């Protein structure tokens, strides 16, 4: 499933280019499910859960005001059986448990992230953790290519080891926020990283059906898709046992309204199922 060497690589570098996890027929089923959801969204959308409207256009405009940095469809597992099967995929969840060193993994959320030709931009370096209302960085993402992902069409670029760099750790972030509140022009290491082009990172090219994992404190970015092909990925975010709701870190996150536990309590509930 995952070798000791792969687990060590992940610990040291904060990412792992794993390889094939889905068969072509499984990818095809996911693409069909996505097309169906996109059509529903373009015909007015499904508002049966708050996050379904997030991250994408619900109308096709003749001229786009601004290219979207990325196009997103959150919690596909609630909308399509094949996606639900994929978030519980034994190989994927088994690797996630090993890399997170946890007896069980819970789903934080999944999403399709796509860079459609002619409507996408450069997604700058960031660490996922600080965008989520969660208590500790025992979280990882599995990024599955639904199209061949290359440098030209905006594959993932990672900064190896950045997840262990004390400059970018939660304690440093707190101090930095306080310093930036006093002087918003401060050029901290984080600000410098955020301003770098994706090419600063290591590209992780993948073929359709292959995946990579990244730690939630690992800096990553994706460049613009400069081709005429789609670049679609299905991303599953797993949390280790015991991660709690931490509202203050990202109080406006789209999933906050469906969190049923109190602030500070372990995140549980039907919206965040244990998947292995
Ligand atoms: O797929 C992309 O373009 C960005 C993905 C990303 O930032 C993530 O999965 O955390």
The CB-side HSE value for 124 (13 A sphere, CA atoms) comes to 7
Average pLDDT, the chain: 96
CB of 233 closer than 6 angstroms to any ligand 1 atom: yes
CB 49 within 8 A of CB 75: yes
CB of 235 closer than 6 angstroms to any ligand 1 atom: yes
Sign of CA dihedral 190, 246, 248, 259: positive
Domains of the chain: 4-42+72-258 (2.60.120.620)
Write down the pLDDT at residue 66: 81
| Phi, psi for residue 111 in degrees, rounded to 5 | -160, 150
Model confidence pLDDT, tens digit, residues 201-230: 999 999 999 999 999 999 999 999 999 999
Longest dimension (CA), the chain: 54
Write down the pLDDT at residue 200: 98
Q: Classify strands 139-145 and 210-215 as parallel, antiparallel or unpaired.
A: antiparallel
Write down the pLDDT at residue 62: 62
Cα–Cα distance, 124 to 82 (Å, whole number) = 31
In this structure, the residue with its CA closest to atom 3 of ligand 1 is 222
- Residues above pLDDT 70, as percent of the chain: 99
What's the rounded mean pLDDT across residues 235-249?
98
Model confidence pLDDT, tens digit, residues 103-126: 999 999 999 999 999 889 999 999
Write down the pLDDT at residue 59: 84
CB 143 within 8 A of CB 214: yes
Cα angle 51-262-248, degrees, rounded to a multiple of 5: 70
Write down the pLDDT at residue 143: 99
Model confidence pLDDT, tens digit, residues 57-72: 998 766 667 889 999 9
Query: Is the pLDDT confidence value at 260 over 70?
Result: yes
CB of 128 closer than 6 angstroms to any ligand 1 atom: yes
Radius of gyration of the chain (CA): 18
Model confidence pLDDT, tens digit, residues 170-207: 999 999 999 999 999 999 999 999 999 999 999 999 99
Ligand 1 atom showing the smallest separation from residue 235 Cα: 9
Cα–Cα distance, 262 to 247 (Å, whole number) = 9
Q: Which of 143, 152, 194, 215 to mutate to test the pocket of ligand 1 (most atoms within 8 A of CB)?
A: 143
Ligand 1 atom showing the smallest separation from residue 221 Cα: 7
Cα–Cα distance, 83 to 89 (Å, whole number) = 10
Query: Is the pLDDT confidence value at 97 over 80?
Result: yes
Model confidence pLDDT, tens digit, residues 132-149: 999 999 999 999 999 999
CB of 147 closer than 6 angstroms to any ligand 1 atom: no
- Residues above pLDDT 90, as percent of the chain: 95
């Amino acid at each position: 499933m995952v070798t000791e060497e792969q687990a060590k690589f992940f610990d040291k570098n904060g990412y792992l280019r794993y390889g094939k996890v889905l068969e072509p027929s499984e990818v095809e089923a996911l693409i069909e499910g996505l097309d169906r959801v996109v059509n529903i969204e373009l015909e007015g959308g499904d508002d049966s859960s708050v996050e379904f409207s997030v991250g994408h256009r619900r109308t096709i405009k003749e001229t786009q005001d601004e290219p979207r940095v990325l196009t997103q469809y959150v919690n596909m597992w609630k909308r399509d059986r094949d996606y639900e099967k994929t978030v519980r995929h034994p190989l994927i969840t088994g690797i996630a448990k090993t890399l997170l060193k946890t007896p069980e993994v819970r789903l934080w959320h999944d999403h399709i992230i796509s860079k459609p030709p002619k409507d996408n931009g450069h997604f700058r370096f960031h660490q996922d953790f600080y965008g989520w209302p969660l208590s500790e960085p025992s979280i990882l993402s599995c990024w599955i290519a639904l199209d061949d992902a290359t440098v030209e069409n905006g594959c993932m670029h990672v900064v190896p080891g950045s997840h262990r760099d004390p400059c970018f750790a939660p304690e440093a972030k707190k101090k930095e926020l306080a310093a930036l509140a006093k002087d918003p022009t401060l050029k901290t290491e984080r600000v410098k990283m955020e301003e770098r082009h994706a090419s600063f990172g290591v590209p992780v090219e993948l073929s359709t059906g292959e995946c990579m994992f990244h730690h939630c404190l690992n800096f990553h970015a994706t460049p613009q898709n400069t081709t005429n092909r789609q670049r679609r990925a299905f991303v599953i975010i797993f949390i280790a046992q015991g991660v709690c709701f931490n509202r203050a870190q990202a109080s406006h996150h789209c999933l906050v309204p469906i969190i049923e536990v109190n602030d500070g309590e372990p995140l549980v509930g039907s919206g965040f199922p244990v998947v292995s």
